[in-house]
Structure 1
């Protein structure tokens, strides 16, 4: 009770101190009012000013102690503040700011702005937000300031719900089985080879074209009405359909669609095309049975591809045969304008190789990506607009600038003329038989033994061995087109040696002919060991040096022969050219000398008979001396078919010409053949006739021998 009694005495000192301090403060700011209310500032000793965003009942500046500064509502109806379209004004104490109305946002991404000039409010695509709450059976549709949900194509509204509402829910329809039934129907039609065998190739390929076009149209239509974003079905016959369906505007960038037979990577803009609405459809139908309709279809190579192959194989490419080693893949989009795409589509197609074939293509074979092309004139496989990027682990990657039906083909390139190849094989086979007969004749017929026969014998041996190796092993069959194995290099080396040896013996034929016709002196020929040293030693030296300098020059991608790169082919062409030119000089000299001899022996010899004898002699010596190879020296362009055919025919039949010249046209050899035939058949009359003919011939020879004053020729 005592405390209240002392309160007045304590308050007076405190109040005094406060007044003293206040007076001291007023003395320092004698020009400012001491009573300005909150949210204001002092003007002078008798007036105050409200801060920006505040005002008093008397105005911005007031002098009454009873006034106060209150907040100004800039967002009020009478305010001059304007935030602009799709925006609201938000008042704050002493200020304001503007915000976009719900469903809109600033283009800059900021949360607020100050005045209408900063207004960039635009509609918000709620469907792009992860938290949009549309049911998975529906599609989100953006609306002005909001969104709606509608049923997907192929789905029906679930009972109790309304369409195009945020809570719309739908249920799927039973349209998947239509696609499955369609695929099974096609499989059934394509699995009946007996029905297809009754059709011609033209009818089969026409039917295949119609099937593919019809399937593309029907599948695109079914896909648009199909529920869900993707669908895959594989039939018991290994036909597989993969679909991807997305609403327009749902995708961006690159997209991939794949299944077990094929994969496709493309840009979203390529799939949608110029469509403004509706779903975007991507599909791949892979069918192995479709190959039954497309079997034996031709492959047309574009000009650039032929040029590339000719450069790789170093020979002319006349055409190609195609074998389908993958499923036929029908690729389609909702965009139907796919003849020339803005950006390429990348494919990866799985393929199978025939069990009888090796895993890697052989020379003159290649795995390529081709598409089925149909026009008014023909239906065939083509490669225009597509390029093969590579093959790995049973899959080939391709890139194309258009869409169609694709397949991986094993292309067999016709590098050489098939007629020319047949002539070569038949000609060499005939020559081998004739050369073998020549070798046996030169070994067994004693009356013709001599240095010239020795040269004939070894020439035939070299030609026989070289031709046999050529016929059996000239093609590089060691697997990869880029591989040259030991077998091919060995074959190339043996061919180099034996053909060079044959030409060396041809040069020795020229030497013997020179001594026989031009010099006409006995004892000037070479001995047998000298002949063998030249005939076998010179080519051995050339091949040895060539192999030591550039061993990898033996063998080519396609043929087991000398590689022309780096001038290595001149190790054969050089010596051959020298020998052919020398023998050509000897040939001309021989014919000239023979002409003189004919005139000297019998000046009255008829011109026709003289010309016939000279012609036969000249033709015979052409083949003996190897002068027919001069056609090969001028065969600079492999596409020059007249020279190619002439060169092939003349030189493949060289063995036949040697047999005719040295055996059938030689009277001593014919007599020996008759004697052998008589012994085999037991025909005594044949032996007697041969013996009598031989005796008469010897007597005639004795009578015809020239005397000392006659010409020994």
Structure 2
């Protein structure tokens, strides 16, 4: 009998990475897969004769085929293929051994990481890599080795970019030009700015000698001269709208220039104040550097203030002396309002078209009056002429001269704080400013609004019919219809509340209350949907427990406390944590600040995920048990159908709010329309799924229609026979069958 030396008590020593193979009357040592003998001898009998060394499949005469954009990596006894940097496997398998198993596809870094080139950079995908290109108006500094795109100062790069009669003001990513005092923009191509041409105004005696007077007189005399100019009724009432606008532009620029000029001529007076019936001026001089002064200066005129940083004043200094001026006009807002607001002469549409001035006109200037772009914004606090209403929004605007016309513009100004009496504006340039009040409750006739009204009206009608069906149909009364009924009631009340309050002007407190009620009702809808999923799962898990006892036990012990208690608990906690999160200036819903919307989206997402789990388990149980049960068990078949309807309901309610989270990026408009359509038609979908597609409900509808027809026919016959055949008997007419007790 052959001796198996490999399995004997003293097996031969073949060495590492080798194996012993028994042959009749002897044995051989051979290298295992991935290794080869160092001597080239395939078979040997002892480790001293040979050694097994690793085969480098990546560098051999027939290297492994890993395909394009992949690297071969040798490992002891084997090898693996992996995609190179910038590529990823199409199948998701990181390691593979042949190109037929996988392919390496380019990674789109731009889509995967939207902020990979931030800030101010555009990402361009390339094969195996990507490239960042600075946005227009930004570039990379040659001195800085970082990849950050910095703003290009077009004004320093091209000093004459605005022409000889205009000042270039650099902005983030761009620039803009503003004509100097005495010039206005021109529509002609030969020059950017042209000299003011308003003979009827410039020839007015009030304008004569102002600049000459500024060289010789004090700020008091200059202010009195402009006061007389503002009180000249013939000047402001004699011209048309264009002439008055041009006169206002000349006046504002002249007062700024005169205030700064007279302040610089009196260096011994650090602060000057002048107040007349038409305007008030305060000037401030800064000598030396800002370390000797306060970081921020406050200038006050009338009841308005201007906060400007010291560096802004010193940066515009002339011969080492910096000047700042703040002017407040008592009656100029009435002159501009009558001419430039009632006739709609406004650059920006929308809110500005239906607004009114609600503050004094103020002006701020530094240096020699030339417009400059501020490295640090200046703040203006303006008092309202009339108390701000709840439905109004405060807009900060400045007097802008464009194409030989003047109007209010919100560019570069933001309202950082507002209350009923004051508004604080933060602006990145100095000019003349005011506060406009715009109504926020403007009737919207957009397609989305029309879709909302039509969809919600249809949903309310369908939900009302569904509620009547669940109340009156005795043949379908069970725990499931009770759950459907509560869901329809909550959704009906939520849609009705939303539809009735959306077109009404509400106070802040009323808006917060409505937002809390909507939060509660929509959460209640999802709570009852969760109970539907749980009830289906418990019933299918115990298919024999389908009697009224188990159903009523589930109803009494669990349904109502959770269905109405859980959303109340969430709303109470949310209101306690962030009471100001209910209601915004534009919508009676949850605020987006501090992530407060997740007090609604968090429970909704959790309920959707739990219900999906319930439905998957329910379908799995039905799949395993229906094959072994009698096909005549109608209750089991009904639960299978009810499960699919519940899944459809989950999709209807959950899909709409999921679409709300996707309203970002290029497809935001499409998602907004889908969100509005699906959300406004939820009631119609529920009526379709649970009523019109229910065979028992359709049969009940037919029975009702036949009963009403028979009742109508018998009533007519009975009325005709009453006059001819007197009788004392009681006649019973059978109508549609309704439940005697309609409480579920």
Q: TM-score, normalised by structure 2?
A: 0.46
Give the structure with higher Rg (CA): 1
Q: TM-score, normalised by structure 1?
A: 0.48
